[in-house]
């Protein structure tokens, strides 16, 4: 787990703060609304960052089950965080750090450690001011060096866990200049049976906010449609904001269209005016337009990709799904992700896998669903179906090759079968003594050396790449030579660790696996090379061999 520096805060930096709270219920997409607003501010020339507050007691998301909570997102510094940080990184095209995810566990742990160290000697340590001070410190530090910082409070106003945070925000606003702070409240506006947009839930949640001393400046109504003017007026009247501070946020098919919708509603302009930065914004003609071009381009064709995992919850593989979408944006095709549950193979899910144009096996832990994934990899390898294996999907490709090509019966990962006669995947040596589960894997960005002339070199166009990791096991060095002699090429290495595997172009049109997770660095405007290669292989543009040309041109 990354350590936590306590730096001196420079008040000149991190000038403007947008706080985002949610009302009525969670899962309204307030993170996407906030990230979209941030994207537009960035397009207008501002440096924007974000902080996600998760009021749970876990120190970080690393120990949480993706089936309940969605994927664990990994940052470059190795922080294991809530998937919302992934959305901020993708929308804002920034690299965040562990400090940008504030959790109750982290805050209390830090304050209690300080108490044990004697830092508060003589004093009673309390939620107010010690916890609230620590929350404010974290926000200010994370904002440093940026023009605007968006702070999203997870959960819903009224949750007991969220109370210290809302109190901290109240104090924060009290300490800063009024035009440096903007409170945005995202709430639900449901329809009644007779088709009327109902504002009562919004009124109640704003009342709740006001009872703890927070008055929202902006209200965003999540509704299946745009809000009627009557609805906006009613919300304005009861919640004590001008009507033009009430914005619609209707359902859209694709989250990457939310920034366009926010812009159409004028939310970004309103925010800039309220924060008194509208005059510093770039003129519209000079604003960054790449996002809009990409997400509105006319696509030509579709690619079906089978994502063979063990969870039915799509959020469990969010970054992989998004990385496939980004590759689609780059290749100008629609990517349909077919969710294949490897535990439900070989029944109807198997045919779904067989009908797809390409197969991806993502990361994972534990034995459940393993056999179905190995079967899918074998199918891809034997039938020339483009394949991308990510972390566990890389490890299982090694296992499949060891079993079915080398004939090493029972070959497995020591994680999944302790008794295996051929542990081709084994625990990392530095993990032998590790007992704690939280933050102890090989985490974060590490450099991989890429062998020239390989598929990996052609994809990355360079002789190294730096991608994010999250694993405890790796290819067992005792099997390197045997696997390579049988045709499984390790084209990416990091010292003695195998990081990328591939099959030669004569053997397979596209078969590649990475011990790292390239999906975490993929952005809508900057797709990840292994994902782009997967689509190229499907579309018939040979992803192999570009490297030779690049070498000549150097
Ligand atoms: N369970 C495997 C390991 O710990 C793979 C991890 C992953 O896919 N993220 O090495």
The overall average pLDDT reported for the chain is 90
Alpha carbon distances (Å) from 47 to 245, 268, 488: 24, 14, 45
pLDDT exceeds cutoff 70 at 251: yes
The architecture CATH gives domain 11-294 = 3-Layer(aba) Sandwich (3.40)
β-pair type (218-223, 246-250): parallel
Q: What share of the chain is helix, strand, coil (3-state, %, to 5)?
A: 45, 20, 35
Q: Is 422 in the pocket of ligand 1 (CB under 6 A)?
A: no
Say which range, 3-17, 327-341, 480-494, has the weakest mean pLDDT: 3-17
C-alpha dihedral, 325 to 327 to 329 to 332, nearest 10°: -120
Ligand 1 geometric centre to CA of 334 (Å): 29
β-pair type (511-514, 497-502): antiparallel
Query: Exposure pattern of 437-476 as b/e (b: 16+ CB <10 Å)?
Result: eebebbbbbbebebbeebbbbbbbeeeebebbbbbbbbbb
Provide the residue ranges of all domains of the chain, joining segments of one domain with +: 11-294, 298-545
Query: N- to C-terminal Cα distance for the chain?
Result: 40
Res 348: pLDDT: 62
DSSP string, 363-425: ---SSTTHHHHHHHHHHHHHTT--EEEETHHHHHHHHHHHHHTS--TT-EETTT-TT-S-EEE
Compute the distance between CA of residue 427 and CA of residue 476 in angstroms, rounded to an integer: 8
Res 404: pLDDT: 97
The architecture CATH gives domain 298-545 = 3-Layer(aba) Sandwich (3.40)
Q: Is 363 in the pocket of ligand 1 (CB under 6 A)?
A: yes
Which atom, in ligand 1's list, is nearest to the CA of 428? 10
Ligand 1 geometric centre to CA of 442 (Å): 10
**Shortest CA distance to 474 belongs to which of 455, 500, 450?**
500
pLDDT exceeds cutoff 80 at 430: no
Cβ contact 343:364 at 8 Å: no
Res 218: pLDDT: 96
Res 549: pLDDT: 44
Ligand 1 geometric centre to CA of 531 (Å): 19
Q: Tell me whether residue 354 is exposed, middle or buried, using C-beta atoms within 10 angstroms of its C-beta: 0 to 12, 13 to 18, 19 or more.
A: middle
Query: Residue 52's beta-bridge partner residues?
Result: 101, 152
pLDDT exceeds cutoff 60 at 546: no
Q: What is the pTM of this model?
A: 0.91
pLDDT in tens, 511-527: 999 999 999 999 999 99
Res 244: pLDDT: 95
Q: Is 66 in the pocket of ligand 1 (CB under 6 A)?
A: no
Topology alike, domains 11-294 and 298-545 = yes
List, in sequence order, every beta strand (DSSP E) within 98-237. 101-103, 148-153, 181-188, 218-223
């Amino acid at each position: 787990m990354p350590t936590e520096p306590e730096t001196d805060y420079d008040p000149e930096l991190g000038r403007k703060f947008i706080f985002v709270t949610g009302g009525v219920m969670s899962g309204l997409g307030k993170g996407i609304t906030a990230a979209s607003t941030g994207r537009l501010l960035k397009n207008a020339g501002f440096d924007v960052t974000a902080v996600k507050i998760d009021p749970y007691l876990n120190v970080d998301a690393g120990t949480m089950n993706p089936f309940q909570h969605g994927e664990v997102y990994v940052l470059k510094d190795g922080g294991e965080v809530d998937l919302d940080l992934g959305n901020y990184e993708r929308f804002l095209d920034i690299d965040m750090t562990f400090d940008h995810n504030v959790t109750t566990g982290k805050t209390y742990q830090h304050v209690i450690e300080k108490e044990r160290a004697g830092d508060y000697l003589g004093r009673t340590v309390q939620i107010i001011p010690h916890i609230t001070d620590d929350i404010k410190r974290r926000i200010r530090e994370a904002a440093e060096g940026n023009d605007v910082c968006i702070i999203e409070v997870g959960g819903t106003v009224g949750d007991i866990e969220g109370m210290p945070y809302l109190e901290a925000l109240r104090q924060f606003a009290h300490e800063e200049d009024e035009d440096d702070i903007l409170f945005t409240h995202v709430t639900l506006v449901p329809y009644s049976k007779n088709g009327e947009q109902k504002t009562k839930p919004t009124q109640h949640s704003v009342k709740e906010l006001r009872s703890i001393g927070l008055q929202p400046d902006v209200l965003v109504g999540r509704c299946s449609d745009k809000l009627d003017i009557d609805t906006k007026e009613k919300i304005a009247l009861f919640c004590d904001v001008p009507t033009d501070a009430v914005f619609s946020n209707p359902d859209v098919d694709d989250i990457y269209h939310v920034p366009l919708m926010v812009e159409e509603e004028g939310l970004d302009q309103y925010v800039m005016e309220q924060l008194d930065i509208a005059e510093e914004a770039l003129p519209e003609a000079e604003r960054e337009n790449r996002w809009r071009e990409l997400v509105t381009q006319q696509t030509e064709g579709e690619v079906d990709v089978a994502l063979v995992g063990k969870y039915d919850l799509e959020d469990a593989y969010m970054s992989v799904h998004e990385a496939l979408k980004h590759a689609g944006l780059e290749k100008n095709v629609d990517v349909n992700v077919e969710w294949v549950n490897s535990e439900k193979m070989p029944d109807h899910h198997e045919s779904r896998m067989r009908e797809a144009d390409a197969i991806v096996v993502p990361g994972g832990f534990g034995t459940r669903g393993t056999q179905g994934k190995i079967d899918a990899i074998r199918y891809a390898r034997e039938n020339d179906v483009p394949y991308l294996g990510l972390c566990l999907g890389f490890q299982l490709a090694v296992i499949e090759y060891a079993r079915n090509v080398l004939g090493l019966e029972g070959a497995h990962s020591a994680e999944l079968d302790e008794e295996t006669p051929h542990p081709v995947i084994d625990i990392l040596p530095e993990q032998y003594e590790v007992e704690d589960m939280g933050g102890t894997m090989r985490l974060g960005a590490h450099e991989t050396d890429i062998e020239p002339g390989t598929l990996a070199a052609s994809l990355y166009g360079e002789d190294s790449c730096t991608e994010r990791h999250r694993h405890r096991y790796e290819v067992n060095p005792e099997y390197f030579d045997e696997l390579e002699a049988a045709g499984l090429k390790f084209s990416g290495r990091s010292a003695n660790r195998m990081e990328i595997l591939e099959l030669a172009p004569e053997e397979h049109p596209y078969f590649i696996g990475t011990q790292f997770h390239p999906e975490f660095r993929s952005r809508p405007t900057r797709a990840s090379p292994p994902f782009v290669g997967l689509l190229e292989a499907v579309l018939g543009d040979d992803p192999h061999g570009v490297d030779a040309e690049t070498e000549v041109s150097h």
